[in-house]
Amino acid sequence: MKSKKSWLLWATIGLLAGGGLAWLRTPATVSTPTTSAPTTAPAENIEPSLTQRCRDAAATLEPQLDPTFSVLVDPPFVVAGNMRTTDLAAHMEHSVLRPAAAMWQAYFTHQPDQPITVLLLTDRGVRPGEDKNPGYAYRTWSQKLFGEQAANSYGYYEPDRRTLIMNIDTGSGTLTHELTHALIVYDFPDPPDWFNEALATLHEQCRVEENGLVGLPNWRLPALQQAMADGALRPLADLVTKNDFRTNQEGLNYAQARYFAMYLQHRNKLREFYSYYRGHRDNPVAAIEHVLGKSMDDVEKTFLAWVKTLRFE
């Protein structure tokens, strides 16, 4: 089932050579409604006011950029990048719209009612010399727009501004990761860190399908397998109950959470766990036992045995 439907507005702001601002309104894909459209189907739920707010956000953003930028609007997204419109549109389709549609199909019942801004920065096309400094455009624009140092080399999400800023030259994995954080909160407010990061990291290396994102082994696996071999991995029950994700072995927590989400997906239980846990967030152990139908000890054993079978080269 196609998740993007009907009267989708695809508005483009183009910076004209003369410095003017043009709105190009192109009718988007008009598809026939599905026979059993879910009540939460993406585009049908977009209020005109959200479209207007996205246009307003784009119009506010555009004067802060320079003529190398293109800006595209597809509610709830406002996507800008220092590249040609066709290149930006390709990034937007591949790394924003398709993953978002898949997340809405897979888990998130409620969609954003406010604009989400995505800034994609590339060093291609920057002045000679600046391109010898990887991440130059990303760091420069992070400073220019927000007055702050970029948090890392890849990209980050600013919840207060509802803005993702990305060094797109490093690939799209971080974008899909941060996009997960930007979208989940409209459906699962204030999600526990372990689960928020479990889903986001699952998505950073995945195959995007129309009805979901299928996680694949990635660079976080070797550290997890090494910790298992060393007997240094803490029990899963601790990870999901102790509320110390950021302060106690954070790197390993990411890996353990990611591969537990991938294990749930492997058991075809991730979708069910998401919706059940959202309603029972105070007792994650009981939620895991309920959805997987076995004790936490048994879950842990089968989870770890499965992790041992994975390979990442």
What does the binding site for Zn ion look like in residue numbers (CB under 5 A)? 197, 200
Residue from 16, 13, 44 nearest 30 by CA: 44
Nearer to Zn ion by C-beta: 123 or 197?
A: 197
Q: Which residues contact residue 218 at a Cβ distance below 8 angstroms, ignoring those fewer than 6 apart?
A: 173, 204, 205, 258, 312
Bridge partner list, 212: 209
Tokens standing for residue 307:
């992790």
- Asked if 286 and 252 touch (Cβ cutoff 8 Å), the reply is no
Q: Which residues contact residue 55 at a Cβ distance below 8 angstroms, ignoring those fewer than 6 apart?
A: 11, 23, 73
Nearer to Zn ion by C-beta: 74 or 197?
A: 197
- Asked if 141 and 130 touch (Cβ cutoff 8 Å), the reply is no
CB of 200 to Zn ion, least distance (A): 4
CB of 174 to Zn ion, least distance (A): 9
Nearer to Zn ion by C-beta: 203 or 278?
A: 203
Select the residue whose beta carbon is closest to Zn ion and give its number: 200
Nearer to Zn ion by C-beta: 71 or 200?
A: 200
CB of 197 to Zn ion, least distance (A): 5
Residue from 77, 78, 75 nearest 65 by CA: 78
CB of 92 to Zn ion, least distance (A): 21
Q: Give the Cα separation of 221 and 214 in Å (integer).
A: 16
Question: Which 8-state DSSP code applies to residue 197?
Answer: H
CB of 285 to Zn ion, least distance (A): 23
CB of 196 to Zn ion, least distance (A): 7
Nearer to Zn ion by C-beta: 63 or 159?
A: 159
HSE (side-chain half, CA atoms, 13 Å) at 142: 23
Nearer to Zn ion by C-beta: 179 or 200?
A: 200
